[in-house]
Structure 1
Amino acid sequence: MTDARHIARQQSRHHSDERAQALRALLMAPLMTPAHEDFAAVRRHADELRGWFAREAGWPLHIERDCARLYKRPADLHDPSRGLPDYECRRYVLLSLACAVLERADPQITLRVLGERLLLLAADPTLASRGFRFALTAAHERRELVAVCRSLLQWGVLRRVAGDEEGYVHGAAAATEGGDALYDIQRRVLAGLLAAVRGPSTWSAEQAPVTLEERLSALVTEHVPDSEEGHRTALRHHLARRLLDDPVVYLEALDEAQRAYFINQRGAMASRLCDATGLAAEQRAEGLALVDEDGQLTDVAMPAEGTEAHATLLVAEFLANRPAPASLEDIAAFLAEARSRYGHYWRKSAREAGAEQELAGIALERLRKLQLIALDAGHARPLPALARFALGEADIRKPAAASTPSLFDL
């Protein structure tokens, strides 16, 4: 009987650990295909995961045989640090056009055909009126198209069958023979790419929002029942999304209703979210952060390896110990000084004169993404969570003299 209970406890522990790992994997990869190492675990715990995400964050989770999609909808639409790495407005337009081509294409498509059909959509007068031009005649334009395709490959929307993209990038012209690639289109994954509550194509010309803020809001606005319970649930979902998706939640960033609910419920919320995800809660007077001690649930780790990560850590300590905001020039000057002490650990290009300007910009962007600083009029203003990096001088103490001689003293 004792052995049976021991086995049951082991099985229960394994079940809980696997479910937590599947939940964490979905937070980092909301669009998941069978190629992901945790996809099988996600399918095994599908019902529990669906219930947990719906209850705690109001995020729908769809799991099928060849795709899992957690529809994470951001709570903070004003965070300028969100977005895909190396993507700006032009590349997002190309991504949207590429998805429109794939939605109408046969099950297989080549990179060259994708480019040709994308050109037809890019010639739309509406895009031209907004200053968008794309001709695929220059190498940098082909490189942009390849970057979009590689994003789609990474998400599992495309699956490379044959060929290679590099030959296409370096071709003399888009129409020349030579480098090309053949892809399978994964329809179910493509259909789950957009996480909006309402698709933009459903807006009539009269209803279509105009400004960027209105468009973002229209994409993710959800129906809230007009009742006390409905508003309370909406508040809980909003705060849980911020705790799961943002590095830290500051009280000053919440409106009056959110702040009142958060102050009363943050202990219970943090406990539930931490129990399920394995995160650790750090509660302070200024707010709350859910911290991953393993550093896995983040796309910007700190501390981390590499020159930029080391420079970011140095800048964090510099700002944390500084009473006033610092300009980019102040931070660049600090890094130039730090180069004499730590430069032999940095890559060669970062040790050159003038490289401190680029390093300073990278460090500030990383700190802003982690919500450790705010950038106001070109100056970096420390936020409360940065205080954890306010390291003082090391206190080196000599060991006390031994009261009795050791064996080696005899």
Structure 2
Amino acid sequence: MSAVRQDVRMGAGEVCRRLLARPWLLSGRDDAAIEAVHRFEEQVRSLARALEWRLVIEPDTVRLLKSPPERLRERTWPVAEECRWMWLAAAAIDRLPPMVTTAHLVAAAREAAVEIGFTVTGSRHELQETRRGLEMLQARGVIEVREGTLEELEDRHRCALLRLHHERTLFLIANAELMGEDGAWVVDPAADPGEWIERCAPPASTGARVLRRLVDDTVVYWSDLSVSESYWLREQLDDQVAQAAELLGLGVEERAEGVALVLSSEHAGVQGHGFPLHRGTVQHAAVLVRDFALTGGRTDGAGCPGPGWLALTPQAVEEQLARCARTHLWWSGAYRSDIAQLAGEVRLLWQQLGLLRITTGYTDTWWFSPAAARWARTDSASPTS
């Protein structure tokens, strides 16, 4: 591979990875990232096609309409009040002119709430949640503050001036196939809301489902795949999977427990870094608990996700953390005095990485993925800020 082609590959890979992490880019905030997407537009569009995600590239906006990871679909998430007010305000924007005040937008959002039978109290708490909802729309470029600030929303005598970007409300629903080429609804949401919602998340092909898991998850485990998905992944490791990895500037690593896309030594030279890169009490404790599992964890039992997974009980985790807290005096005093809280943070960190699973029963069990052992053990020096 020539040096020029390798530089292009690595540059395109970095742009694609950043877009996956931040799928909504706006002018004035992400100008450099938008310019990079335009520079590597061919590679970015190729990746979006492989993943079967819609991609919108405009001079001032880039939006990758990606679906949430499968692991998040399996959970039941509470609907936060600020999310509710974000959607109510988005629905209200359709009936408002491009330039409005916060007072007009809040009033229209409350009208939308009443229309669907949502109780409007006008309390200070509700106003705070409404402001957070508007901040979510601001972060997505749907509303732009021209004068004042959204903090003034709680001051009944002051209003901010807003610019509403009506066309961007169409980007709020990821992967939606809701409008035809003529700009009209394919399915009228008022006439058939069920069909409209189904089209918000159209089913993907087997290959796209597996590729999405590969880019979203640390490891795709063989035990989590269906027969058809497992067959596709084995057949396409050297073809479609390798092509997607190249677009991302990554390598493909096949392990006994599954497949992962990794940064190899030829990409940015990050191979060999210990985990975590930014050390702190929780991160250091997480690795020490993992090290304890490698030496003292059991490898079988009810609920074992697959071969090579290591199990610890929550009691064993807390006992080990208590021993470590007496040794590592540089740990945060708040965590050293509350081992249960530290254990909860450690659990959350490993779960977010997709390298820990919890089985419940008479007693819970922590199962560490075999892939958790790929990171080198950290030293016991004080953390870097």
Q: For 1:88 and 1:316, how far apart are their aligned partners in 2? A: 33
Residue 247 of structure 1 aligns to a residue in which SS?
A: coil
Equivalent residue, structure 2, for 1:66: 60
Question: Residues 375, 154 of structure 1: CA spacing in aligned structure 2 closer, same or farther, 3 A cutoff?
Answer: same
Equivalent residue, structure 2, for 1:318: 292
Q: For 1:393 and 1:309, how far apart are their aligned partners in 2? A: 12
Equivalent residue, structure 1, for 2:369: 383
Question: Residues 280, 373 of structure 1: CA spacing in aligned structure 2 closer, same or farther, 3 A cutoff?
Answer: same
The 5 A counterparts of 1:193-272 are 193-198=172-177, 202-203=188-189, 208=194, 219-222=200-203, 234-272=205-243
Question: Residues 241, 125 of structure 1: CA spacing in aligned structure 2 closer, same or farther, 3 A cutoff?
Answer: closer
The one-letter amino acid paired with 1:316 is R
Residue 357 (structure 2) aligned to one of 351, 358, 374: 374
Question: Identical aligned pairs, as a percentage?
Answer: 23
Contact 2:325–2:331 (CA<8 Å) still a contact in 1? Answer: no
Once the two structures are TM-superposed, the CA of residue 177 in structure 1 deviates from its matched residue by: 1.9
Q: For 2:79 and 2:286, how far apart are their aligned partners in 1? A: 23
Equivalent residue, structure 1, for 2:45: 50
Residue 100 of structure 2 aligns to a residue in which SS?
A: strand
Equivalent residue, structure 1, for 2:244: 273
Q: For 2:92 and 2:254, how far apart are their aligned partners in 1? A: 48
Contact 1:31–1:193 (CA<8 Å) still a contact in 2? Answer: no
Q: For 2:73 and 2:188, how far apart are their aligned partners in 1? A: 26
Equivalent residue, structure 2, for 1:408: none
The 5 A counterparts of 1:142-181 are 142-169=127-154, 176-178=156-158, 180-181=159-160
Question: Residues 360, 145 of structure 1: CA spacing in aligned structure 2 closer, same or farther, 3 A cutoff?
Answer: farther
What do the CA deviations read for 1:138-196 (whole angstroms, capped 9, x no partner)?
3x333322322222222222322232344545x5xxxx325x43332233333212114
Equivalent residue, structure 2, for 1:130: none
Equivalent residue, structure 1, for 2:14: 21
Q: For 2:45 and 2:112, how far apart are their aligned partners in 1? A: 37
Point out the more displaced range, 245-254 or 283-292: 283-292
Q: For 2:61 and 2:247, how far apart are their aligned partners in 1? A: 23
Residue 327 (structure 2) aligned to one of 330, 334, 341: 341
Residue 38 of structure 1 aligns to a residue in which SS?
A: helix
Residue 104 of structure 1 aligns to a residue in which SS?
A: coil
Once the two structures are TM-superposed, the CA of residue 373 in structure 1 deviates from its matched residue by: 1.0
Equivalent residue, structure 2, for 1:122: 113
Q: For 2:233 and 2:252, how far apart are their aligned partners in 1? A: 14
Q: For 1:32 and 1:334, how far apart are their aligned partners in 2? A: 44
Residue 93 of structure 1 aligns to a residue in which SS?
A: helix
What do the CA deviations read for 1:59-89 (whole angstroms, capped 9, x no partner)?
2222112211212234626545798xxx844
Q: For 1:88 and 1:260, how far apart are their aligned partners in 2? A: 37
**TM-score after normalising by structure 1:** 0.72
The one-letter amino acid paired with 2:58 is E
Question: Residues 94, 80 of structure 1: CA spacing in aligned structure 2 closer, same or farther, 3 A cutoff?
Answer: farther
Q: For 1:159 and 1:307, how far apart are their aligned partners in 2? A: 39
Unaligned runs of 5+ residues in structure 2 are 179-184, 299-309, 381-385
Residue 344 of structure 1 aligns to a residue in which SS?
A: coil
Question: Residues 134, 26 of structure 1: CA spacing in aligned structure 2 closer, same or farther, 3 A cutoff?
Answer: same
Q: For 1:19 and 1:260, how far apart are their aligned partners in 2? A: 29
Count of residues in correspondence between the two structures: 348
Equivalent residue, structure 2, for 1:106: 97
TM-align CA RMSD? 3.6
Unaligned runs of 5+ residues in structure 1 are 1-8, 128-132, 225-233, 395-410
Residue 32 of structure 1 aligns to a residue in which SS?
A: strand
Q: For 2:52 and 2:288, how far apart are their aligned partners in 1? A: 39
Does 1:76 find its partner at 2:61? no
What do the CA deviations read for 1:301-349 (whole angstroms, capped 9, x no partner)?
9443433333333333334442263444443343333222224243x43
Once the two structures are TM-superposed, the CA of residue 134 in structure 1 deviates from its matched residue by: 4.8
The one-letter amino acid paired with 2:87 is S
Once the two structures are TM-superposed, the CA of residue 271 in structure 1 deviates from its matched residue by: 2.4
Question: Residues 60, 206 of structure 1: CA spacing in aligned structure 2 closer, same or farther, 3 A cutoff?
Answer: closer
Contact 1:61–1:68 (CA<8 Å) still a contact in 2? Answer: yes
Bigger Rg over Cα: 1
Question: Residues 105, 362 of structure 1: CA spacing in aligned structure 2 closer, same or farther, 3 A cutoff?
Answer: farther
Question: Residues 373, 10 of structure 1: CA spacing in aligned structure 2 closer, same or farther, 3 A cutoff?
Answer: closer
Question: Residues 390, 382 of structure 1: CA spacing in aligned structure 2 closer, same or farther, 3 A cutoff?
Answer: farther
Q: For 1:194 and 1:69, how far apart are their aligned partners in 2? A: 11
Q: For 1:392 and 1:164, how far apart are their aligned partners in 2? A: 44
Residue 315 of structure 1 aligns to a residue in which SS?
A: helix
Q: For 1:304 and 1:144, how far apart are their aligned partners in 2? A: 33
